[in-house]
Structure formats: structure tokens, C-alpha cells
Structure 1
Amino acid sequence: MYGTPGSPAAMMSIDGTQIPAAPEKFGGKIEPTTKGSKPYWPARIVPPKGAPNVLLIMTDDSGFGVPSTFGGVIPTPALERIAQNGLRYTNFHSTALCSPTRAALITGRNHHSVGFGVISEQATGYPGYDSVITRDKATIGKILKDNGYRTSWFGKNHNTPAFMAAPTGPFDQWPVGMGFEYFYGFMGGDTNQWEPANLARNTTYIYPFQGNPSYNLTTAMADEAIAYMKQVNTLTPDQPFFVYYVPGGTHAPHHPTPEWIKKISDMHLFDEGWNKLRETIFANQKKLGVIPPDARLTPWPKDLLKEWDQLSADEKKMFIRQVDVFAAYVAYTDHEIGRVIQAVEDMGKLDNTLIIYINGDNGTSAEGTLVGTPNEVAMFNQVIVPVEDQLKYFYDVWGSNRTYNHMAVPWAWAFDTPFSWTKQIASHLGGVRQGMAISWPAVIQDKGGVRHQFHHVIDIVPTILEATKIRQPKVVDGIRQSPIEGVSMLYTFDAKNASAPSRRRTQYFEMFGDRAIYHDGWWAATRVMRPPWVTLAPPRDVLTYPWELYDLRNDWTQSEDLAQKYPAKLKELQALFMQEAKKHQVFPLDDTVVARLLTPRPSITAGRSTFTWTMPLTGTPNGDAPSILNSSYTFTADIEVPQGGGDGMLITQGGRFAGYGFYLLKGKPVFTWNLVDLKRVKWVGQEALPPGRHVLEFAFKYDGLGMETLAYGSPSGIGRGGTGVLKVDGKVVAEQKMERTIPLILQWDENLDVGSDTGTPVDDRDYQVPFQFTGKINRVTLDIDRPKLSPEDIRQLETARRGGKVSE
């Protein structure tokens, strides 16, 4: 207890075993009147005396060799500042993918243990994969909040189930429902930094970019965090804060400002190509001491990726543009993080602030195709944009709001130097080894030190709890808690323990069936059976994957397979993996990727084929909207056109990089399909609608077999064409066939909107957002007719699968 018990200024710390704490017993006196009575105020709960502020930072899709702090060529002075003022960690690990790493980071438990075996958009109905963090696994936000911290979350939230992201809730799986009092960030895996249509403040979607062409979320987010910290410091200067700061950089789309693109391009960091880049990074890493002097550079995968000298002049030009923009995004993101760190110092709180800065939630992303792409949505729909077209149509606007850009795979491989492989690959260190720096000036005296102990992202929560002297609660909101599975890294803060053995002896890894187990310096792993840039492939028997064995004590980079030399050790580790997998909800193993995007989930649309809107309604996220892909469907709009003519959006989903829109343009009805920003197919009425009531209809008859074919390892039924018919008051006004349709996913960071458009236009030449309908919407109805496989269809698909062929 601090201060006089019962006084308005009284404060107390709790033992933390049960949160929230039970109400304090009234310690005053109550008589029939105030005469003779004595008031007593319950004490305000505060953390233990001297508890530090905590600033937890993590960037996105950034491998070990990206930042200059770990040997990279891209300047990251904010990360460097933390490393020089604290410690640099060289043996720290992620899960190989976004949502899983983040779920593990905020809970201190393995990703399957908290339902995030994959990203939320791929959730399946198994405990390790359903994307629901159950209430027996409270987050660090909840624990610190109920112990008296002011808690906040800025940036990416990829831990709300995609089917629970609607603006109507439920909100228990949103940041504000998981213990974070304030949230400003985007919902889902990524966002358009220029025009973030999935941006929310607390539980309300907001669109601050509209009418603000210079808006960029990377800067706006830093502004928001700084303003919040200043507010907390002004109102409650003695109350510590916990800020979870997780920007979108450097996940695609790579959206830095033009100033940063010029700054990096003028440095000519990448003119010699990706092979030379690896050699440069590797040499830098040895100089810095972040890899051992005898470490070996893993070989370039010549059977998978071209060497730089094999490229044409056009390819080199385009690929340098791609990587310059990526590097600019890295530097820009780090710069804005630096502003947040500086704000802590400006408040006079840097000395007693624990700052944890993790570079990347997984290795650098290889999801940009072998040649890069101006539109990541195209990549996930199996569309490759040739280098020739990239140069012709997108070179000058690369990184602007006209692109949803990603770079070629070989750059990602190079940025994971000295290791092999990339994001998505849990079996090899390129996918899971992350650089990290930690500073706490009041405690860490070994400034500029390097630590090589093996640790994992689940170890951050117990580190924070030990630093703040707060216990893991046994009961939260009346629910008994499962044990935290991480171990504290606080012992490494002491210079005497610089070379101490790691207190994490065992750690499993698994992603899409690719898997590994670490134990006491040994690493057993399955061979990579699917490159991460191949997202649609027939499923394999996961249990037949061949295994490899590495001795990381003598082979830092995982370069020498010892499976043949030590079969008994491999067998021992394989058995240990099965034991850990069973303990942590890893089963059933599943190697599918895109197919999981199409798995039915318990969303608000589940089991429905008819949807009706009787008023304008915006902001329904992609994961909560009805999907019309690979189906026949009919939109019917009952509207009233005002005097002078009607204009505006009736219904739309997606935006500039993939989606559809049904609208009036200068009075004429239009239905537009945007096919990943490479082609637009339109049905247009030739006459403007006169004032009054009208019924518009767009009906599409799909020619394919539908998504069920994926269950048989065949994509034959998806992305096929069909015929669309546009009617006005029962009369056909436009009809045409569309040869191909979008097979897998619309632009995921945009919404389904009725009555206006919240994000980006499906066609910039037709309109600009919000394009609010000027008339009245009485009713918009969508009827979906999803294909059903006949017995003959199933027989043919089964035959093709048994023969190892994919029916086309």
C-alpha cells in the first residue's frame, strides 16, 4: 500500500495471482448519517514500485540480413540505437508466419497452443488452427492492465479471427477485448499504407486518408502513438505504460514516401545484384560479431533461383527498382519507430523504459513471385505479371498508391543471409531467425553487448513479467489460466551471463506441414517440399517428408546435413517433435496453403446464400462478407433516382487491386469487375435512368465446377468464366461473357460497402471515393448459387487424383 489507506491518493500493488483483483474491503465506518461515519476510498492499483515502462516493437516480413544492425546494407538507426544502448540478440526465433508469431508474442505460449497454427484468414476447425485465443490464455496486455499499467496497441492486428472483424463485433477478440485499452491500427495481415480501408480506432473503422493525398499510415501511426504517450504522461505521469508498436513495414505492399525512395535509390545499394548482396551482408555480419568467425554462407539455390549475371538488362533494371522501394520502406519504417523512441526520451522516461525491438515477425517474404509483382493480390490469384509489363506500366509508380507491390524472390533469399529459405519455412533458419535488440538503461550495463543464447518469441512475455515483477496470474476473469510456455530472458541482461547456457533447451517449429525441432543445440527438420512462392499445389502425405539433421553448435548457419551420419540422434529428435506436437495442439498436420483460404468458417455469412441490405452500410471486412467467387450470383437493387439524375455506388467489394462494383455513373447503370488491376470487364447501360423508382439486376452464370474441386487436389473448377447480364426494370441492357474470373481472393484489406465506397475505386477512371449514392436505396439483394459436384464430377476428379494428374 502506498499513501494513507482509504485516502483518495492511496495506491496498492496486488499479488497478481488473480486478476482483476477482488474489490478491496471497505475500511471506513458507516453510521446512519454522515455524522460519525468515516469515508474510505479503495486504493488505485499500480504496478510494483520502480516497474519500467515497456515499449514492445516488432516489424513485419524482415529477415536476419535486412537491417544494418545485423549486417545488412539498409540503414536502421533506430534499431542501432537500441542495440548500442543495450543488447543485440543473434539467436532469437519466430514461427515463420505473421499471425502465429504475433499470437505467441502477446501470450507467451506457442502459436498452436493459442489457436494460431496459421494466419487467421486460413483458420480451420481444429483447436490449434481456429484463430481464437481462448480466455484461459490471457495476453500480456490484459495482465499488465489489471496490474495498473496503461496499455495500448498501435499497428497491425492479425490476431482477431477474420470472421470476427465486422464493425458490430463481437469485440472480445479485438485488441480492446484482449487487455489493450487503446488500439489504433489495421485489421488483418496487411494494408494499403496510402489508403488503409481496414484501419480502426478501438472498435470503429476510420478513413482519415479520404481527402488527404499525402496521408501515409506509417507516419500517422507514429504520430498517434506519440500523442497517446504524451497524454498518458500528462494525466498520469507516475503510471507506467505498455505500448505494443507493430507497423505494417515491411510487409507488402511496400509503400514508402517518394522522399525515402529517392534517398535509398541515390545510395545505389543494390546495383551489383542479389548474389553480391549476400556476400556483402555475410562479411558485415562477421565484422559485427553477430555470426561466428567460422560460420559458412549457405549456398545459392541455383536449381530454384537465377543468379544475377543470368539476367537481362531489363530484368536488372526492374528488380533494382523493386528492391530500392523495399529498402526505402525498411528505412522509412525504422525512422518512424525512431520518432516514437525519441518521444520516450523527450518525456524523460528512457532510463526506466524496457524497449524490445524485434526485426521481423518471420523471414523476408518470398510471396512476390520469381519476378516480383505490382499487385500482391494478383500473386495470390496465381497471376504473374511479366517484367516487360512491369517496366512499361508500373516502373515509375512502384511503391505509390497505384501499386500493391512486392519484390522478386531472390531478394528475399538474399535478405535472409547467411541462412537458407524465407518466410513460411519453419524448418530452415531463413524463415525463423530474427535479429532483436533490447535496451533498459537503468538495468542493462553491458551496453553494446551481443547475446547468442537460443530463444523464441514466446520468451518475451515472461521476460516482461520478470522485469515488471508481476506474476503470471493463475485466474483471469474467473478462468483458470494455462501455464505460460516461454522462459524469461532477463538473465541475459547481466554481463556475467553473457555466455551463460540458454535457458530454452527445446523448441518445436511447424508451418504448413514443414517442421523442425531444436534441442540442446541440435536441429532436426523436414526437407522443404513446397517453395513459399508456390501457393496452390496438390496435397502430399506430410508424414512421408524426408528429414535433415544439423548440429547448430558447430554449424551456425544450418549448412551441413548430418542425417546420414547420426541416424540415432535424428530418430530421437523426431520422437521429441511428435511429443511436443501432441502437447501443443499441432495435429492434424496439413500442408495446404491457398485451399485453406476457402475453408468454410463460422462467419456471419456461414450457411447463407441470400443477403439483403435495406440501407447504406459500409465497412464489412472481406472475412465477414459473402463471397461470390467461383459461383453464379444475382445482384438486385431496388432504388429511387432523384430529380436531376442519380450517381454513386450501390454495392462494391474490393477495390483498385481486385474487386467489383455495381453503380450509377452519370445516371447509367454499370457493373465492373476489376481483374487484379490488369483488366476491367464492364456491363454498361446506354441510357441514363430517369427520376423515379427502378429495379436493377446483374446476374452472372458461372461455367466452372467451383471450390469443391480443391478438395481433390485440382484447381479445375475455379477461376473459370461465365456470362453476365445487366437488366433495368426487367429489360436486358448489356450482356457479355467474361472469359476468366478471380479464383481465390479479392483485395483483402478492402470492405464490402453499400451506398458508398470506403477504400479505393474498382475503376479510378469512373469515380473517386466515397462516391456516395445520390438517390435512395430501398433494397439490395444478393443471391448466390454455388456449384455442386455431381457423382460423375467426383468420379473424374478422384480418377485424376489417383493417376497423379490435375484435371484442367
Structure 2
Amino acid sequence: MSMPTEARGYESFAGHAAEFTSESEPWWPEPQRPGPKAPNVIVMLIDDLGFSDLGPFGSEIETPRIDGLADEGWVFTNYRTAPMCSPARAALLTGLNPHRAGFGFVAHIDPGYPGFSCELPEDAPTLAESLRAGGYATFMVGKWHLTLESRLHDGADRSTWPLQRGFDRYFGSMDGFTSLHHPHRLVHDNSVVDLREYPEGFFLTDELTDRAIGMIDDLRVNDPDKPFFLYYAHTSVHGPIQAKDADIEKYRGRYEAGWNALRAERFARQRARGIVPDHAELPGEAIADGDRIPVWDDLSVEERRLFARHMEVYAAAVDEIDQSVGRLLDRLDRSGERENTIVVLASDNGGTAEGGPTGTRSYFAQFGANGAMPEGWITDVPRPLEDLGGPRVFGQYPTGWARVSNTPFRSFKATTYEGGVHAPLIISWPDAPMAGGLRDQFVFVSDLAPTILELCGVPSLDQRRGRPALEMDGGSVVDVLAHPTAPGREDQYFECVGRRALVDGTWKALSTVPPTKDEGPAGGVWELYDLASDPTETEDVSADHPERVAAMAARWHAEAWRNTVFPLDDDGALFRLRPDTEEPLSAAIDLVPFRPPLERFRSAKLTVLRSFAVEVDLTTEADAAGVIVAHGDQGGGYLLALDHGAPLVAYNAYGAMHRARGAQLSPGEHRIVLRVDEHPGLRWSLTVEVDGDRAAVIDSVPMLIGMSPFTGISVGYDFGGPVDWELHEQHRSFPFRGGELHRVRYVPGERSPHDPTVLRAVGQAVLAVAD
């Protein structure tokens, strides 16, 4: 890992031990009563939405309510964000640069470095905390993704959960994403929602909107005047991309012309609307990932229809976001509050190429897996076309459509090219004392918090938990709202897994890979673009300006040092290193039947990249039937049940089903053991033993890795997205009956040789500092 010579390594974790403690007493100040005309605020953040995916930015997707926000407000054509979602969310809520806010990456790592702590600093007040102190009610629905995954389980310290970071009420998914038809885990305030199964027709985008409106309704019943702040963080359109059938049907046939044609159409609309300047060029195939995108006309009829269906689902999901905007605005119109409500709508990063050249119907077969996969690994299990978008498919659209999403820019989410960081931003406030319109000034995500606070007339808290508050990196852009020619931000650094960039005025320097250890952290191969003449990064002019390149590389180094960016991840250590405080999560445990599922990460520590056993002591009657344990969903998982009194093991290999059955059990006491054993090439075998005898076997199936199984372990029923759809159609959650589950114990085996995790002994260091 590349870092300055003066930087320290993992032991720097110990110096931040105070950030990992919690206090039982509330620390926040007594709220002030806001002025009589304090505006409401709604911030809507859309996940993985590309620059051109909304109507005001050139899209063909129907977004009439968002179009209305743009017509009456401000449309920012030069807004940039972090290359990934958690860093953008941390910057939005704190006004800090992503690494200073603790999020150099998404909240699925814990290497022990301050810039990658994946927890908001204790001395960084959030926008919600400042607004609450200023007299606002504070609500949040949707994706949080700002808590270490090791602290998402029910026994964890909740000091970084939404309610402890300034929100009065919360409903949503704490994790990075989830199924929209069958969410893997929903949290209401500080507690997991105890739900046996979802009703027919459940859809998360609709539920989040219902909950948001309900929070506003509950406030207004009791206080008609108190302003509110609503942070609505959509889980859509992050993978798995899903939508409702009726909305998908609206877009049937719309994308049969292919991705190049749609990209050209969007670019033409952008030019006509002034979203991009007339001299901008659409990057050609050679520099715009043409090697990763099949030629549409060379595809078979079946391939074109499959790829078009992927985009129909994506368009429907964007359409559903627009519908949610409309429902919120209609609610405010009914109460006469729309005019005095500020709405901020943005994406957290650019569109993603996670689906690969051909897209996938097996999202978890490739998502979240670090390193090369074995030869023959299947990343797209075929499924019927009409199932795409529905609850049976965890899909992601192909790279060609992601390039359309990011029109006119090159590259994708997680890169520092404009396609990764250039995103849509709309601000609307009908009662504003200044007129809206297009704005081409540079605005960064950390500018949003100070802007909102200034518009609301609320100061940022100057301390948190008795410690002076960190100074915000962002600055208010209220002057930009008021004056079309006011200056915007001048510069900003970017970094993501060693990919670096610096925007300085109209110049942008970037490096696509980390430097070698010998070059130092400012070294490596740098590209240079003049964004004034070349806003889409089509011509690298670094050879013509070597002195400018060297100066900008050195400037990036200084900014990186100030913002705790180091160490750069040049060898994958950010993903390998974990604290030894996670080790107890892999200890054998007894699970209680019929409780909410064990949380995803906690479940994964027992099963992923290792062999394991599930030991079950039970009593059966003649009619015994139902699920004993289920872990996972339609994206991948396994299930042990009694079906007509006989043991059944079902294994969902990212959409490919495998089943094996044993003989019917006699009534009485039994011991059933499910053994899941690793074999070479990332494969498992599953064996069911009944009273010491082998009863059923599934041989050599692809191991579930990365983020799969995504739904946690449920005992006595199959929660949420079912592992086995046929059983679900017959029995729904298939609760266990006709007997009693006395004991269900998970016993993890040795870790796989494919598991690169290195547990570092930081727990003792943290305790020593705390003492």
C-alpha cells in the first residue's frame, strides 16, 4: 500500500479509539424554535443513477415530476460527487470531503486507517444534527450505508445508526442495497422489523414513500408549523435492478435500437438544452470502453432482446423514482407546504458497469467477489425474459447501457473519470427569493450541507459530544443560486482504490492506477484534460504540459495528505485487513426459531468462504413439515426443510436450483446435520445426515461468495426472498409445524484458502488507549 514515508500503518487505528466509544447520555443541545418561515427540506439521493438518466439531462425515460422540479428550480450541469456511494453520503451529511468523513470506500471494509474507518467521525455533526438543533423535525427513509457492516447486527453498538446521528425517525435498509420485492432486512428506528413474510405486491420504493409521507403526516397532526428535514435515500437503481411489471411494460420495445443509438439521442438532447456545450464531443469507442461493449448490430436477435429487456427494467425503476417524487409533492400541495419546501435531488455517483458486457441475471455471482474467479464460473444463469425485473431475478444491466446512463462522459462508477463522478443535481424552492435556471459552476457533494443550512438560516453545530466540530470542507453555493455568474468551487481532489484525480479550475489531472512503491504517492502515469475545451475528456494533453502535470500531481499529494487519503490501495490490503474484534462473530452459535433473521454480515461470518455444519435437534410428529433453516434468497442461498415428513435440502446457485431428498422420518426425536464442505475451485458439497446416517447429498455446486447469501439466516421459516421459489409458491414462508425445533446450532469450520482476510490485533490497542 502506497503512503508517504511519514504515514503510519494499522496502528493509527489506536489513535482514534475515542471515536469507537459511545455515551449513554444524550449530548445534543436543546433545539431552538425556528423562524415562522423556515422552509422544509427534502433531500432525495438516487443510487447509481447516471448523468443522463433524468429528463432534464437528456433522457427518454418519463420523469415528469422531476422535470417539473427542474423547470421551476436550478439545474446544475457541473455537479460532481464521490466515485462511490458511501463516500458521497458521508460528504453530503457532514460537509466534509469523503476521506475526512471516514469514507474512502463503501462501508464493507475495515482496514484500520482514519480515511477508511467507514464510520462518521465523532466530531463531525451531521446535517440532521444541526437542523434538529435548529428546531427541525428530522426524518430519513431508505439506504443508510454509513455504518460498518460488523456493527449492523442486533447486538452491535448503535452509535453510528441514523437515530444516533441526528434523525428523529428512520425506516429503511441499513445495508448497501437490497431486493425491492423482498428486502433482506428492514430497520424501523433502532430495531429490525419483525415480519414473517411480505404481502403480495410489496415493493420497497412504494413502501419508503408511504413511510416518508406517514412521518410528515404524524408530525403535522401534532405540530402544524414545525419545519422538517426528510432525507430520502433511494435503494433504486442500485443492483439488483428491479421494477414492477406495469412500469416495465411502459418501456417495452423502447430500447431495441441499441445503446449507441440511444446514447446519440441523449447527447443531441443535451446539446439542445444546454446541458453540455456545443463544442463538446461524444467520446469515441476507443476511449469510451468500446472494448467492453458488444457491437449492437453484431448481436443475435435473442441477445438484443435480452439486453433491451435489461434496460426496460432500468427505465421502469427510474420512472418509479419519479412517481415517488410526485407522491411527496402531492402531499405537500395538499397541505399548502410545497411552495416553502426546498427539494434537492441528486445521484450519489455515476452509472455502474457491474453488469459486465452482457449484463447479468445472477448479480451476486460476480458482485462483491474480489479476485479472479475459477475457469468456467457462470456469472449469468439463464432465466425467462419475462422474469427480469421481478422477484426471481437479481439482475444488472450491461455495460453498454451504463455508458448510455453516463452520456456524454466516459467510464463508470468507482473511476475518477467524469463518468464516475459527474452526476445530476436539481434544486427546487418555489418560495426562493431568487430565480432558477441552468448553472454551470463547479459544485461538489460536500457543498450541499452548508448550502442547505444557509438556506434554512440554521448554523452548523460548533461542537459534538463536547469536542470542537471539524471544519467543513464544503462551502455554501447560495450565491450561485442567486447569481448565474457567481463563482463556483475552484478545485477538488478525488480518490477511489488508488485511482486519483484533481480538478483545478478548467484543468483535470487523473491517474487510473496507483503508483508503484518506488514512485511515491504522487507518482504514476497521469493524464491531463482541459475541461474548458474538452469537457468529456477525449484528448489527453499531458505530453504538451509536463510542468502542469507535475504541479497538479504534487497538489493532489498535498490534498490527499490533508484529507487522510493515505495509504493508497495498491495491493488490495484495504479489502484484506480486518480488526480482530470481528473474530467473535465467527464463533459457533445457537439460533432461536421464528425470530427475525440473523443479520447478513453476521450470517456470512459463519458460512462464507468456509466449510460449516448446521446441527439440528428436533422432535417430529407424523405431519411434520416446514423450513428448519433458510439462508439467502433468489440471488443465491440454501435451505433445509421437512417436506411431507422427509428431509429436503435445496441449493440456489445464483439462480440455478439443486435439490435432494431423504426418506420420510418416523415420529419422534431426531438429530439432523447439514454439512457444507468446501472443495477445490470454490465449490461446495451439501450432505444431510439423519441420526448419523447419510440421507441426501448435493455434490459440487458453486460456492456462495461475496455478498451472497444476502438475506440472513432464518430458523423455522424462509424469510423474505425465498431460496426455493417452488416451495414459496406452495407454502409461502413455509413455517415449521408438526413438531418442535429444540436446538439449531451453526458450527463454522476452517476458513477457505481463498479467503484473503488478515485479522490484525487492534482490539487490545483500542482497549489500551481507552483505559
Same fold by TM-score greater than 0.5 = yes
Q: Which residue of 1 aligns with 2:85?
A: 98
Q: Does 1:487 align with 2:500?
A: no
Q: Select the residue among 663, 680, 687 that pairs with 2:664.
A: 687
Cα distance in 2, alignment partners of residues 72 and 608 from structure 1: 47
Q: Which residue of 2 aligns with 1:701?
A: 677
Q: Which residue of 1 aligns with 2:704?
A: 742
Alignment of 1:424-503 (within 5 A): 424-425=414-415, 427-447=416-436, 449-494=437-482, 497-502=483-488
Q: TM-score, normalised by structure 1?
A: 0.84
Q: Does 1:612 align with 2:620?
A: no
Q: 1:603 and 1:612, CA in 2 relative to 1: closer, same or farther beyond 3 A?
A: farther
Cα distance in 1, alignment partners of residues 309 and 45 from structure 2: 26
8 Å Cα contact 1:86/1:444 also seen in 2:
no
Q: Which residue of 1 aligns with 2:539?
A: 560
SS at match of 1:84: helix
8 Å Cα contact 2:514/2:569 also seen in 1:
no
* One-letter code aligned to 1:440: W
SS at match of 1:663: strand
Cα distance in 2, alignment partners of residues 789 and 317 from structure 1: 40
Alignment of 1:246-325 (within 5 A): 246-265=233-252, 268-300=253-285, 301-325=289-313
Q: Which residue of 2 aligns with 1:21?
A: 29
SS at match of 1:227: helix
RMSD: 2.7
Alignment of 1:367-378 (within 5 A): 367-378=354-365
Larger Rg: 1
* One-letter code aligned to 2:678: Y
* One-letter code aligned to 2:747: D
8 Å Cα contact 1:621/1:751 also seen in 2:
yes
Post-superposition CA distance 1:399-453 (Å, at most 9, x none): 111111111111101221111001111x200111111111112225323x10011
SS at match of 1:309: helix
List runs of 5+ in structure 2 lacking aligned partners.
1-25, 757-771
SS at match of 1:282: helix
Q: Select the residue among 751, 754, 777 that pairs with 2:741.
A: 777
Shift of 1:132: 1.1
Q: Does 1:75 align with 2:38?
A: no
8 Å Cα contact 1:377/1:657 also seen in 2:
yes
Q: 1:357 and 1:721, CA in 2 relative to 1: closer, same or farther beyond 3 A?
A: closer
8 Å Cα contact 1:55/1:356 also seen in 2:
yes
Q: Which residue of 2 aligns with 1:363?
A: 350
List runs of 5+ in structure 1 lacking aligned partners.
1-17, 23-43, 531-539, 705-718, 794-808
Shift of 1:621: 1.7
Q: Which residue of 2 aligns with 1:535?
A: none
Cα distance in 2, alignment partners of residues 668 and 586 from structure 1: 56
SS at match of 2:606: coil
8 Å Cα contact 2:87/2:106 also seen in 1:
yes
SS at match of 1:281: helix
SS at match of 1:109: coil
Shift of 1:238: 1.2
Paired positions, count: 715
Q: Which residue of 2 aligns with 1:650?
A: 628
Cα distance in 2, alignment partners of residues 766 and 19 from structure 1: 50
Q: 1:639 and 1:659, CA in 2 relative to 1: closer, same or farther beyond 3 A?
A: same
Q: Which residue of 2 aligns with 1:764?
A: 725
Alignment of 1:468-617 (within 5 A): 468-494=456-482, 497-502=483-488, 504-527=489-512, 545-590=524-569, 600-601=578-579, 606=584, 608-613=586-591, 616-617=594-595
Cα distance in 1, alignment partners of residues 311 and 514 from structure 2: 27
Shift of 1:384: 7.0
* One-letter code aligned to 2:426: A
8 Å Cα contact 2:511/2:526 also seen in 1:
yes
Aligned sequence identity (%): 29
Alignment of 1:137-176 (within 5 A): 137-176=124-163
Cα distance in 2, alignment partners of residues 277 and 736 from structure 1: 45
Q: Select the residue among 639, 642, 648 that pairs with 1:661.
A: 639
Q: Select the residue among 20, 31, 37 that pairs with 1:50.
A: 37
Cα distance in 2, alignment partners of residues 437 and 610 from structure 1: 50
Shift of 1:164: 1.3
8 Å Cα contact 1:19/1:475 also seen in 2:
no
8 Å Cα contact 1:614/1:778 also seen in 2:
no
8 Å Cα contact 2:716/2:735 also seen in 1:
yes
* One-letter code aligned to 2:748: I
Q: Which residue of 1 aligns with 2:7?
A: none
Q: Select the residue among 120, 123, 126 that pairs with 1:133.
A: 120
Q: Does 1:332 align with 2:310?
A: no
Q: Does 1:732 align with 2:740?
A: no
* One-letter code aligned to 1:148: G
Cα distance in 1, alignment partners of residues 36 and 377 from structure 2: 58
Post-superposition CA distance 1:18-62 (Å, at most 9, x none): 97336xxxxxxxxxxxxxxxxxxxxx7312443211111111111
SS at match of 1:561: coil
Q: 1:760 and 1:19, CA in 2 relative to 1: closer, same or farther beyond 3 A?
A: closer
Q: Which residue of 2 aligns with 1:12?
A: none
* One-letter code aligned to 2:733: P
Cα distance in 1, alignment partners of residues 514 and 296 from structure 2: 25
SS at match of 1:135: coil
* One-letter code aligned to 2:418: L
Cα distance in 2, alignment partners of residues 676 and 747 from structure 1: 9
8 Å Cα contact 1:152/1:242 also seen in 2:
yes
Alignment of 1:344-423 (within 5 A): 344-358=332-346, 360-380=347-367, 390=382, 393-423=383-413
SS at match of 1:776: strand
8 Å Cα contact 1:59/1:247 also seen in 2:
yes
SS at match of 1:128: helix
* One-letter code aligned to 2:167: F
* One-letter code aligned to 1:657: G
* One-letter code aligned to 1:659: G
8 Å Cα contact 1:98/1:361 also seen in 2:
yes
Post-superposition CA distance 1:291-330 (Å, at most 9, x none): 1111111112333322322222222111111111111111
Post-superposition CA distance 1:332-388 (Å, at most 9, x none): 211111211221222111222111111x2111111112101112112325587688x
8 Å Cα contact 1:144/1:151 also seen in 2:
yes
SS at match of 1:640: strand
* One-letter code aligned to 1:766: L
Q: 1:500 and 1:723, CA in 2 relative to 1: closer, same or farther beyond 3 A?
A: closer
- Specify which structure has the bigger relative contact order, considering alpha-carbon pairs within 8 angstroms and separated by 6 or more residues: 2
* One-letter code aligned to 1:765: E
* One-letter code aligned to 1:686: A
Q: Select the residue among 244, 264, 286 that pairs with 2:231.
A: 244
Cα distance in 2, alignment partners of residues 723 and 649 from structure 1: 20
8 Å Cα contact 1:70/1:435 also seen in 2:
yes
Post-superposition CA distance 1:608-654 (Å, at most 9, x none): 4422235554322211223323322222111222x333222222221
Cα distance in 1, alignment partners of residues 698 and 70 from structure 2: 61
Which of 167-176 and 189-198 deviates more?
A: 167-176
8 Å Cα contact 1:65/1:281 also seen in 2:
yes
* One-letter code aligned to 1:783: V
Shift of 1:733: 2.2
Q: Select the residue among 100, 124, 127 that pairs with 1:113.
A: 100
SS at match of 1:555: coil
